[in-house]
Amino acid sequence: MKDRLPEVIAQIGIIHKELIKNNTIFDLEEVYEILNKCEEDVKEHYLGLLMQYYFQQNSLDNFQTLLLEGFKFDLRFEDIKEAFIHTNNNDSVIDFFNDQVVLLKDIVVDEYLIEMYDYYMKNENLQEHLKSSLLLLQNNRYICAFCYKHQDEDYSSLFLNQDLLESLKRDLPYLLK
């Protein structure tokens, strides 16, 4: 497999670009039809990456389908940011993945919080729909600690959870240094 990795990556890139170009990326039947012509390792790698793509694009139905088929991916803060800014009036993958969002231990990036803050503020019509996702983000201790350290930033007022902050001061003060 190690020798094939560059080849697998190249095939995955071609498949992904083709699905996006043909506007069939969200049609899992079409995706499987194309992947059934590929070798098994290409198919397995691509479906894992596709699951991450569906999370980022907030495509809950497709995401759940791949999850039920046993595919996984390692959730990152960047994935959450992408899903947040791709939220519409449909269901949210962030809400579906609630515990993983609250417990996520990843590097909090200033630019991601700014982007999510800007999206939230510019889309007043979506704010009610985004509230549950926002609450999950506010309950992440790493986001809370980061916002505490950057209280002068506009996004801190949106993401800083005062109750969680008090708990962190008492139980995990090292996170706030």
* 114 and 88 within one domain: yes
Integer Rg of the chain from CA? 19
91-96 contacts at long range (C-beta below 8 A, 24 or more positions apart): 91/60, 92/58, 92/60, 92/129, 92/132, 92/133, 93/54, 93/55, 93/58, 93/59, 93/60, 93/63, 94/58, 94/132, 94/133, 94/136, 94/137, 95/132, 95/133, 95/136, 96/60, 96/63, 96/64
**Is residue 1's pLDDT more than 60?**
no
* 48 and 81 within one domain: no
User: How many other CB atoms are found less than 10 A from the CB of residue 92?
Assistant: 21
What is the C-alpha to C-alpha distance for residues 169 and 175, in angstroms, rounded to an integer?
8
* 1 and 67 within one domain: yes
Across residues 149-165, what is the average pLDDT?
A: 97
Last residue of a domain, one of 73, 107, 137: 73
pLDDT bin (cut points 50, 70, 90) of residue 3 is: confident
pLDDT bin (cut points 50, 70, 90) of residue 6 is: confident
Residues near 100 by beta carbon (within 8 Å), at least 6 away in sequence:
75
Task: Write down the mean pLDDT value for the chain.
Answer: 94
Residue 166 and residue 144 in contact, taking contact as beta carbons nearer than 8 Å = no
Determine if residue 73 is left, alpha or beta; phi over 0 gives left, psi from -120 to 50 gives alpha, anything else beta.
Answer: beta
**Is residue 171's pLDDT more than 60?**
yes
Domain count within the chain: 2
**Is residue 117's pLDDT more than 90?**
yes
Predicted TM-score (pTM) of this structure: 0.91
Last residue of a domain, one of 73, 96, 129: 73
Domain span holding position 103 = 75-177
* 91 and 57 within one domain: no
pLDDT of residue 2: 60
* 66 and 127 within one domain: no
Last residue of a domain, one of 73, 96, 122: 73
pLDDT tens per residue, range 38-92: 999 999 999 999 999 999 999 999 999 999 999 998 999 999 999 999 998 778 9
